[in-house]
Structure 1
């Protein structure tokens, strides 16, 4: 099955989260394209990296502008965030989330059209770029993702990433939203932040400058490989930050859903 075809399992989880459009009786206009077909168009863009205006309408996705508007509206309604929480809760109920540790890191992508949340990248000759900041559990499942300018220091997003972890349900007791320990490379080597992580009840395992990066670095590197396997995320083409963030959150949902599929 093509990766942009929405499976029944994913659609059953997503459909109840989509906002309902008000029906117009006096001037109904053209019938709106079904949400599932539009989602297939969005996934086609995410997987292939094609520009919106070149989206092949003969595949039944509708126009690129229709898909763009739905992506924008669903992101504003918090659909992707709620879907991610639903998927994390199912993984947690199956004891497939490793709360004993989490791993953080960032990755730079070039931003050809600039826009908000971009900046001169110190690793790309000062060209405009953005950073994807990611935190995963011990298995590499995305817990939260943030978008900043390419010139933002990694350590400044350490606490915002921890705050962005949603309350994960699925087990008896209170929802969980913090791991036991946190692993990071030398870019996060600041004692002030270590102390702030400890104050949250999390043991920091952050590499010191002049030492090796750390034992679990491969976990986050594999997660970034999964994330950037979606071609639309390898280069930031969107001028608007919220559209690129929508793609990021949707990609995290798809990666998390793959983890659920592996249980079957």
Structure 2
């Protein structure tokens, strides 16, 4: 983490980037009143709440600020657009250090229930039509958050986003093609072609054979590739579902 008084919660350099983005404090025209808590302390308290996920009322006393003060300042800074501009500044800094990887992008969302409705909220397709919202996150190849948005729960975020960004193209990724599945497939080959076919009485002989197998694979690595196109895979899945799904029949009247 960072250094200084709040270095245990605020990363190095983040406060220096955020300070010039904060709106000036409003002065009481009649003067007097209680001295405001300094912005750096409030900023650290807000970061603590956002990172830890604790409730505002559970703010630790070490910040020496009431939850009302911290939450009020959070709302003022939010309305002033501080967090969006801070995010943009951090991204520009990371991009200048070649730490943003745009070779791939990942777009995902999470549904949250909005009991009192409001804007933006809509009928949630995953919560029996109850009012809800979607939190959308677009990240780079390393998982770095690029954009965060909020919309009604019934928004088709993928189609909408792709419509606004035509330079991005969708690639069909079959289930089971993640890197962990590739690792499992490699161990399956090792088991089928070496372990099950051989006889290894001492453990040392088994270890030696496995090491020899690994060395041989490294000399001529063969990546796993999908040979079926997406349409053929989807057709096979549809045929399978047709076979395993029982036909719908109407029940006799009176039963």
- Equivalent position SS for 1:15: helix
| Aligned position for 1:91 | 94
| Aligned position for 1:138 | 141
Identify which of 154, 159, 165 aligns with 1:151. 154
| Aligned position for 2:103 | 100
1:197 and 1:51 map into 2 onto residues whose CA distance is 37
- Equivalent position SS for 1:204: coil
| Aligned position for 2:75 | 72
| Aligned position for 1:205 | 170
Contact 2:125–2:154 under 8 Å retained in 1: yes
CA-CA distance at 1:30 after TM superposition: 0.7
Indicate yes or no: 2:21 matched with 1:17.
yes
CA-CA distance at 1:27 after TM superposition: 1.4
Indicate yes or no: 2:5 matched with 1:43.
no
| Aligned position for 1:52 | 56
Contact 1:40–1:61 under 8 Å retained in 2: no
| Aligned position for 1:111 | 114
User: After superposition, what is the alpha-carbon deviation per residue over 1:8-65, rounded to whole angstroms, capped at 9, x for unaligned?
Assistant: 4221221121112244474131101111221232233323434334434x32342222
1:21 and 1:132 map into 2 onto residues whose CA distance is 31
User: After superposition, what is the alpha-carbon deviation per residue over 1:221-248, rounded to whole angstroms, capped at 9, x for unaligned?
Assistant: xxxxxxxxxxxxxxxxxxxxxxxxxxxx
Larger gyration radius, structure 1 or structure 2: 2
Change (3 A) 1:82 1:214: farther
Deviates more, 1:116-125 or 1:46-55: 46-55
Indicate yes or no: 2:35 matched with 1:31.
yes
TM-score of the aligned structures, taking structure 1 as reference length: 0.56
Change (3 A) 1:5 1:100: closer
1:146 and 1:6 map into 2 onto residues whose CA distance is 24
1:112 and 1:90 map into 2 onto residues whose CA distance is 39
TM-score of the aligned structures, taking structure 2 as reference length: 0.58
User: After superposition, what is the alpha-carbon deviation per residue over 1:189-217, rounded to whole angstroms, capped at 9, x for unaligned?
Assistant: xxxx4xx643xxx141243xxx6269789
List gaps (5 residues or longer) in structure 2. Answer: 181-255
1:120 and 1:217 map into 2 onto residues whose CA distance is 36
Change (3 A) 1:214 1:38: farther
Contact 1:4–1:44 under 8 Å retained in 2: no
- Equivalent position SS for 1:139: coil
Contact 2:107–2:158 under 8 Å retained in 1: no
Aligned length, in residue pairs: 176
1:83 and 1:214 map into 2 onto residues whose CA distance is 38
Contact 2:102–2:141 under 8 Å retained in 1: yes
